[in-house]
Structure formats: structure tokens, C-alpha cells
Structure 1
Amino acid sequence: MSCLRFPQFLSFFAGLAIVSATSSLPAVEIIGHRGASYDAPENTLASVNLAWKRNADAVEIDIYLSKDGKIVAYHDKTTKRIGGRDQAVKDQTFAELQTLDVGAWKNARYKQERIPTLSEILKTIPAGKRLFIEIKCGPEVLPQLKQDLAASGKTAAQTAIIGFDYETMQQAKQLMPELEVIWVFKVKQDKVTGKWAHNAAYYIQKAKAANLDGLDLGYNQFVTKAFVKQANAAGLPVYVWTVNKVADARKLTEMGVTGITTDRPGLLNSALKQEK
């Protein structure tokens, strides 16, 4: 082995330090937000399948109950923004919803993409992956949700229920105790004082009171290593949305979050996996 000169010696150990720092990053679950929605139309089979193709660990979708009792993947209350029809999803039958093109707005190659059912999306989940199902309506969807999940043949570990409505999450856990049920919330901050409306203990205590399994919140300065540690100590994994920058994902991974929801699962997955 030849001897290294002093500058080369320094460069060599600097490189080792970088490798050591990045390889020490803990594993984190990369979750495709409405699929791979940066490139494909959100909440469609095209978007979900693209996320799987890009090796996302999980996919998140939004659901509503149609007028005739079908669970469909859709985010907004109405179909105006994407489908062009200014009418509530809950007031349209599945057949009516199927007449909408929900792909062309994103890219011409997705023209004629239709609103999928939850059952169709459940069929796409690969072995070892899972689906986060965000309830955008209310508890009225829960009986059909339980039925669709049972009919899918997927294991309890392959699906998780998430949502903003605390009471709906509480009822979901009571009806389907075998599933992971995660409370999604948005932290409010006073624009003048900079104070948060609630502290970490408030969210942790509420989740524990409802026997929920995790916390899922938007990415901002409220998310700190101390908050993650406090939640984890209470048995609550922390998930963060919506993170599209590699630097932010690295920062969150170092904090110890369990999962990161992103429009760009391929980008974050490849960047973070290279650093393990």
C-alpha cells in the first residue's frame, strides 16, 4: 500500500466522515402523496402505479363515498378543479363520476384517466408495501371501508387509515382495531407572536385518548427532534407531509420520523436509499 500525502490524507478521512454521517441515517418510509403526483394526475391508477414503479414504500390516497355507496379516490369536495364539474363528490353516483376525465389537466398523455375505486387501488399494492387511506368525508364511509378492505384479501399490515377528523379516526379505530389508524393534523401558529396554538403534549394526549397509532402533520418548524422523541416515547410514530426537497427529507430522517409523504417518491427514495 502506498503512503498518502498529507492533503490526500485529509481528503480521505473527510470522505470517510461523509460516508459515516449519511450511512447512519435511520430507515424512513417514503410515501407517495396521492401516488407519484408530481408527474401523474393525483389519486389515479396511473399515479399510484407510477409510485410503485419508482419503488415507493407506500402510497397515500384520499377517499370519498359516492352517492350510491362506492368508495372512490378523490381529494376535493367537488369535482370542479380536476374534473370540471362543480358538484360535490357525495352527490354524484359512481357512473356519473366515471364520465369525468381526471387526467388531461395534468398532461395530455393521461387523457381519459378516470376516478378509480378504492377496490381497484387495493389490487395494485405489491407485497411488502402498504396503502395509506385518508378519509376526506366522515364516518359514514367506515362500514363500506371495512367491507372493501376485507374483500381485498390484503393483510392488516398493508393498509393504514388516516384523516383530519378526530372523531372519525376514533370511530375507525373502534370498528377496525386491527388496523393502524393515524391522526392527521395541521398545527396553527400565531402570525404575530409566533406561538403555536397547542404544544406537543396536546396532540400526543389526544391521540392516546382515542387509542390511535400515530401522528401525521404538515412540515414546519413545529416538527423538531424533541417533538419526534416525545411522540415516540408515547408509542406514536410521526409522519410528515408534504416534503419534496431532498434536504428537507434528510433533515426529517435525522430527526427520527417514521414516514415522509411526498409528491416525488422516486426522487426521495433514490436519494435517501443511496445514503444508507
Structure 2
Amino acid sequence: MFMNLAHRGASEYAPENTLAAFYKGVEMGANGIETDLRLSKDGTVILFHDHELKRTTNGSGAPGDYNWSELAELDAGSWFSPEYAGERLVTFEEFLRFFGRKDLFFALELKDRHVEEKMLDLVKRYRVQEKVTVTSFLFDNLVAVRKLDSDIRIGHLIRQIDLPALERLKEIGAQQVCPSAELLTAADVELAKSHGFEVRAWGAFSVELMEHILACGVDGTTINFPDILTQRLQTMQHV
């Protein structure tokens, strides 16, 4: 099944990493959600992409500078549009309460070090292990995850697929390689699949790039506009 993963939710249409964006992604036909995991000062796992709060909230500084009770008061929607004024940040546990029982894939990108253990505890508590792929640009994060859990699915976010990258992923029992859509070639996809890896692209920020990665033969992608991808996949099924 092709992975149509709403990137930070349907982030083309609603403020990223909010419940509004996640729900909209599912409504638009996404069969999975991609989100980012960080730690608050008091160790709460939160869903937030940037190093700083200022782009997507009315706060300042780093998320890790604040306890969750303080982060929970921030407005995470007004920056996007007045329609979403008052939208709040979300903890990973809240996310799992709302979406964990749904028939969805979850791509969890680790943005902080030392978030691995708390993330895995919540994944197991909500029994979503079979739905989750843990990803990161930082290889050390993936090594830390594998040391804690020998079975959880792992994917490495990289710029471009090459043989050394695939060999490193084999060493930690990864299942997925996640290259940049812009740099991807059909030969890269063929190479990864010949070594037993799924290929899930990132950075398909335009319809043209979406079409490019589909032509390359990927198994899935993160996408800001899951509705357009849903329609395209339906068209492909009828060709």
C-alpha cells in the first residue's frame, strides 16, 4: 500500500503539527501522518518541528526552554490564518489518544536527542508498534532507538541514496530509506529496493516533484497536500 503521509498534517491547509492539520490530512485521504518529536523542559514529548518557537507560535526561544504547562498556553494557529487562532500545540500522548486507534501509518521524526525512550514507552502503551516508523536525519538517534527496541521499524532521512548509506542501515536493521524528492532518481529507488528497503521520499513540496517521485517508483512520501496525492493515486489505479 502506497504511504500517503500528511506532512505535519495537511500543512498546506492548516497550521502544521496541530490537531486541525492532522484531522484535515485524514479527511483528505491520507493513510498516514508524519510528525516531529521534541522534549519540553519537563520531559514531555511534544509535536514540534523547529528549533525555535517563533515561526509557528506566539512564543520565543526553544521548546526545551519551557515546561509543557507553559507551551500549552501558546497560540499555534494565528501565524497561519485568523481561522486557526487559538490552535494549540499537541503532546505525543494526546496525538496517540486521538489517532492511535485509527487505521493509519505513523512516521515519527526525532528532532531531539534523548527523546527515544519516552517515545517508545508511549508507542508501546498505546499499542501502535505495528503502525510506526521512527525516522531521523541523525543516524545516532536511530542507533539509540535500535538499542532500546529490536523490532520497531526505522527509516533514515537522507539527501540521496547510495550504497554506503544502505549498508549502514542494514547494520541497524532499518526497513526504510527516506531520500530527498528533489535529488531522487529511478536508479536510486531500484538500488534501495534491490537491497530490501522501502523508499519513502521527503520534500515533495510541489505537484511537479510529487509526479517525479511517483515516476521513480517510491513506496510513499510525506506530502503537504494529501488530497492532491489521493486523487493522483486514484487516477493511477484506473489506468
Say whether the fold is shared (TM-score over 0.5).
yes
Q: Which runs of 5+ in 2 are unaligned?
A: none
- Residue type of the partner of 1:151? R
Counterpart position of 1:59 = 33
Residue of structure 2 aligned with 1:213, choices 156, 172, 175? 175
TM-score, normalising length: structure 1: 0.81
**Aligned match of 2:231:** 270
CA change 1:80–1:245 in 2 (3 A) is closer
Q: Specify which of 96, 103, 122 is matched with residue 128 of structure 1.
A: 103
Residue aligning to 1:238: 199
Measured in 2, the distance between the counterparts of 1:118 and 1:227 equals 33
Aligned CA RMSD, in angstroms, stands at 1.6
Deviation at 1:148, TM superposition (A): 1.0
92-101 vs 167-176, which moves further: 167-176
Deviation at 1:254, TM superposition (A): 3.0
Partners of 1:150 and 1:275 in 2: CA distance:
36
Pairs aligned (count): 236
Matches within 5 A, 1:109-124: 109-123=83-97, 124=99
Match of 1:167 in 2: 140
TM-superposition CA deviations, 1:188-225 (whole Å, max 9, x none): xxxxxxxxxxx71121112112221211122123x111
CA separation in 1, counterparts of 2:131 and 2:141? 20
What SS does the aligned partner of 2:60 have?
A: strand
Distance change in 2, residues 1:125/1:250 (3 Å): farther
Identify unmatched segments of 5+ residues in structure 1: 1-26, 188-198
Deviation at 1:256, TM superposition (A): 1.8
**Structure with larger Rg:** 1
**AA partner of residue 43 (structure 1):** N
Secondary structure of 1:85's partner? coil
Quote the offset at 1:168 in angstroms.
Answer: 0.8
Runs of 4+ residues over 2 Å off in structure 1: 125-128, 244-251
Identical-pair percentage: 25
Equivalent residues in 2 for 1:174-185, closer than 5 Å:
174-185=147-158
- Post-superposition Cα deviations, 1:6-46, rounded to whole Å, max 9, x if no partner, equal xxxxxxxxxxxxxxxxxxxxx52111110000000000111
Q: How far 1:129 sits from its partner (Å)?
A: 1.2
**Matched residue, 2:120:** 146
3-state SS in 1 of match to 2:115? helix
Deviations 1:117-172 (A, max 9, x none): 0111123145431111100001x111211111122132x22111111110111111
| Contact map agreement 1:33 1:242 (CA 8 A) in 2 | no
Is residue 161–residue 180 contact of structure 1 (8 Å, CA) maintained in 2? yes
2:75 is the counterpart of 1:105:
no
Contact 2:30–2:230 (CA<8 Å) still a contact in 1?
yes
Whole-angstrom distance in 2 between the partners of 1:85 and 1:169: 30
Corresponding letter in the other structure for 2:127? G
Which of 64, 78, 86 is residue 60 of structure 2 equivalent to? Answer: 86
Per the TM alignment, residue 178 of structure 1 is displaced from its structure 2 partner at its CA by 2.1
